[in-house]
Structure 1
Amino acid sequence: MDVTDRTSLAAQRQTRQLAFVQGGGQLRLGSLEGLPWRAADLQGLRGDEPWVVQRYDGGLTAEVYVLHDGARRWTLKRARRPARVRNVDGQTSFLNEVQRRVDLERLKRQPGGPERWRAIVDTRYASFREGLIVSPWIDGEPVAQWGPRQIGQLLEAACQLWCEGLFEWDYSPGNMLDDGRQVWLFDFGYLYAFDPRRQFNTAGRGDDQPMFHPAERFETRAFSAWLLQVQARDGEAAALAAFRLEKEIALDAYGRMRATIASRGACAQVLDWLDGVQARWRQALRGGDAQALFLAESWRSHLLDVDDDLSGQSCTPLTLQRLAWLCEAVEQRHADLRAAGALFWGDEHKSRARLAQELAERHARALAYQL
């Protein structure tokens, strides 16, 4: 999102990263030694070389190639310059990814690190200035079914990252793969550093926007869209059942996350916040109010994701599907939205007609920003 508060964590991060870019500094991790390619070969890749297996051109900030060295496959991520996301975070996402890969490799080298961070892809080589990241190829597919294993593995990884002071904003379907045994994370352009003992996330000043947290990010960027498919195919009862399952798994993961950060000296504000999140979920699940929680979380997820797409001018047909859900919710369930406390950031004070008008304006912009 665009940053207007220059004291925010995002503004401070952007200032540091833009200064690094303009200062000509280099950041490199690992080596290409033992591989049959030089950095110049990868930078000049056309895509028709015999060792290029496949090319994926849908990424907003990078092109992705599958390479074969004669023995195994590798993933090459090559920075797209300029990025298709037209804001500072999009323009600096490749630098941010290299920075975070340095952090992640450090975590993997700790005792027990390879097992603890098994959901995080390894990095063989990364260079910011060369615009290259080389990783082992993940033999998996985008997650098609969010069952107990997939949800549990994703949330466990997300909560562990949070405990290490790494907040991932973009758990979108294109950033996760499932090989049938493990859900993998491999894209870290929007993984930012913060202090989990004193802060909730990297929004605002870190301690003033409690809406954002690991389960929320998963729901907003991926799970809520999948639930739209479930509801269209199998009905709202099936979608609600899947939602309840995800919340039960999230409760377990958040219990462990809370215990970990408490043992590391987290302040009362952070612990009270985590307690409040869990209490809300637990009350809804145990007290028979899961339908209201489902409505509220769905509204939040769809609206936040739409506004994120609009901010980056990177809208897709999914953006329009989310907007259709939001428009229907305002038209048919406005009173339920208010009763569930679903409306936020001033929308709770607006009439149904005003909300409908603003959604119509978003729809017009989303049509103009289709990639």
Structure 2
Amino acid sequence: MTLEQQRHAAQLAFVASGAELEIGTRDDCPLPLEQLEATLGTEPYVRECFSAGLTAHVYRIHAGGRDWTLKRARERCKVQNVDGQTSFLNEIQRRADLVVLKRDPRLGEHLSAVVDTRYASFRRGVLLSPWIDGERIQTWNERQLLQLFDALVALLLGGLFEWDLCPGNTLDDGQVRLFDFGYMYRFDPLRQFNSNGTAAPGFHAAERFETRQYFAHLLPLEQQSDHLALAAFALEKRIALDAYQRLRAELLARGASSTVLDWLGGIIAEWRQALSGDLDALYLKEAWRSHWLDLQDDLGGQTCTPSTLVRIDWLEQAVRERHADLQRLTALGSAHALQAELREARRNARQWQVG
């Protein structure tokens, strides 16, 4: 049984057990817990409703003289797989971990990006946090990238791996904020690459950010000019390189395995070489990977959006215009087979639009 299968079995067993998982007490709530649990969005204390959440109904509420984010678990998650069905449980588990991690004197100062939790109850389907008065990040700048990677390194050192660094899960109020942890899982950073152990070395923190968000951000820059997109990519890669060098040094000091250190060393060496040489080749390789993997994420959960179709456009154009280059950089199939697969992906993506 893989680590992912073990995690699925443990989560489903917890759901079936009837056991409760709670952070804080009902006295920590600014309104009666029963009132929060029954919130529908029409109440006078509700300032805004957000319907896009696939796991929970999300409300901005006002109580106790301030605003709060209230999440109420959906009766049926819109993501059609086990990770989606157990994501609310997983988020509360990780919130409990983060409460402890933020008290760690070595890591806490680097986790200002991580939102606090006021109260949470799995069985009641309630999660309450301070409201983040921030904006969705449209154009990533140096300050934002530095803050994000500082938080990601701290999370990795704390044994937490975030898989879903999508645009909807990052906000900026002068500090980049992370607030949704439904797809964050525990792992051993001294012995494992991610929460799948050493079975999937292609998945790491920078890859997750690039795949779930950054290369989509680069698409409109590509439309303006390749130079702009490549410059933005170089900025992100330089910041990621510095972060990974710090991560590897800290893991070395903590006694990480040679398997982990060599793996990180290989990533660092590839980036360093590309930044001093042929960055365009790395851009093409990682753009293909990012758009392809994000497409598989959307199709796998049947949670496609207009952005999914834009990624398919990019992939189809890459097959038409740069298939030979891609074959030199990655293990790709024939152009004909890829075109057929992408046509099928487009049909499914149109069928599985969630808005």
Supply the AA of the counterpart residue of 2:88.
F
In 2, the alpha carbon distance for the partners of 1:342 and 1:163 equals 30
Question: Which residue of the partner structure matches residue 342 of structure 2?
Answer: 359
C-alpha distance 328-286 of structure 1, shift in aligned 2 (>3 A): same
Supply the AA of the counterpart residue of 2:105.
P
Instruction: Trace 1:104-253 onto structure 2 (pairs within 5 A).
Output: 104-111=98-105, 114-179=108-173, 181-203=174-196, 206-232=197-223, 234-253=224-243
Question: Which residue of the partner structure matches residue 310 of structure 2?
Answer: 321
In 2, the alpha carbon distance for the partners of 1:334 and 1:133 equals 47
Supply the AA of the counterpart residue of 1:75.
T
Question: Which residue of the partner structure matches residue 278 of structure 1?
Answer: 268
Give the % identical residues. 55
Return the match for 2:48 from 38, 48, 54.
54
- Secondary structure of the residue that 1:33 maps to in structure 2? helix
In structure 1, list runs of 5 or more residues that go unmatched.
1-6
Using the size of structure 1 for normalisation, the TM-score is 0.93
Instruction: Trace 1:271-310 onto structure 2 (pairs within 5 A).
Output: 271-287=261-277, 289-310=278-299
C-alpha distance 67-87 of structure 1, shift in aligned 2 (>3 A): same
C-alpha distance 160-145 of structure 1, shift in aligned 2 (>3 A): same
In the alignment, is the contact (CA less than 8 A) between 2:90 and 2:184 conserved in 1? yes
Deviation at 1:38, TM superposition (A): 1.6
In 2, the alpha carbon distance for the partners of 1:102 and 1:28 equals 8
In the alignment, is the contact (CA less than 8 A) between 1:32 and 1:124 conserved in 2? no
Supply the AA of the counterpart residue of 2:201.
P
Instruction: Trace 1:82-121 onto structure 2 (pairs within 5 A).
Output: 82-111=76-105, 114-121=108-115
In 2, the alpha carbon distance for the partners of 1:134 and 1:220 equals 29
- Secondary structure of the residue that 2:70 maps to in structure 1? strand
In the alignment, is the contact (CA less than 8 A) between 1:295 and 1:342 conserved in 2? no
Using the size of structure 2 for normalisation, the TM-score is 0.97
Question: Which residue of the partner structure matches residue 342 of structure 1?
Answer: 330
In 1, the alpha carbon distance for the partners of 2:232 and 2:330 equals 20
In 2, the alpha carbon distance for the partners of 1:237 and 1:36 equals 51
Runs of at least 4 residues of structure 1 off by over 4 A? none
In 2, the alpha carbon distance for the partners of 1:342 and 1:156 equals 30
In the alignment, is the contact (CA less than 8 A) between 1:100 and 1:191 conserved in 2? yes
In 1, the alpha carbon distance for the partners of 2:286 and 2:108 equals 34
Deviation at 1:32, TM superposition (A): 3.8
- Secondary structure of the residue that 2:59 maps to in structure 1? strand
In the alignment, is the contact (CA less than 8 A) between 2:29 and 2:119 conserved in 1? no
In the alignment, is the contact (CA less than 8 A) between 1:299 and 1:342 conserved in 2? no
In 2, the alpha carbon distance for the partners of 1:25 and 1:185 equals 28
In 1, the alpha carbon distance for the partners of 2:106 and 2:154 equals 13
Supply the AA of the counterpart residue of 1:88.
V
Residues 337-358 of structure 1, C-alpha deviations (whole Å, 9 max, x = no match): 112x234xxxx2x211111111
Deviation at 1:33, TM superposition (A): 2.1
Root mean square deviation of aligned Cα: 1.1
C-alpha distance 112-163 of structure 1, shift in aligned 2 (>3 A): closer
Question: Which residue of the partner structure matches residue 59 of structure 2?
Answer: 65
